[in-house]
Amino acid sequence: MRNNRRRLLALGSALLAIAAVVFIYDTYRNEVMARLYAEALGHSPYYRGSVESQAAVKTLATYRGRRSTIMLLDLASRQNTLTPGAQVEAINALRDRKGAEIAIVLANLLQPHEALSTRQAAATALKGLPCKGDCIRLVLHYL
């Protein structure tokens, strides 16, 4: 009886330790992604220059998951005069992620009021993405 109680206590302690480690890692990961996102946007105190913003986007693209994809989608769809290269980098990073929502955002970037580099990057990225429904409508609207 006493052995079972010790084993149960040890198992509970181990599970609690694992949960704490996962929580700490997830919190750290989210903070790093938020810092990279802020640097890519050009927000102070993180902004150091356009080249560093592009590097921040490339590093952000190494993270997988919905949160990093949403951040990249926001960077891709945002016209930022402070960090114009970050937008193209975000588009290039999204090219490797598959999804209909990504294709729709990128198809919307084909509009004539977007910078030529943005439109070229979006068109290149769309080649490898599934484009159905709203995506096709947006491409045809551009044409």
pLDDT digit string, tens, across residues 23-70: 998 888 989 999 999 888 877 676 666 788 888 999 999 999 899 999
pLDDT at res. 46:
64
- pLDDT digit string (tens) for 80-122? 666 678 889 999 999 888 777 888 888 888 888 888 888 899 9
Indicate the pLDDT class of residue 71, thresholds 50, 70 and 90. very high
pLDDT at res. 20:
92
Q: Where are the domains of the chain?
A: 32-142
Distances (CA, A) of 116 to 78, 122, 123, 140: 14, 10, 10, 18
pLDDT at res. 58:
93
Task: Identify which has the larger pLDDT, 3 or 17.
Answer: 17
Q: With pLDDT > 70 as the criterion, what percentage of the chain qualifies?
A: 91
Task: Identify which has the larger pLDDT, 18 or 78.
Answer: 18
The reported pTM is: 0.79
- What's the CA gap between 49 and 39, in Å, rounded? 9
State the burial class of residue 40 (Cβ atoms within 10 Å of its Cβ: 0-12, 13-18, 19+): buried
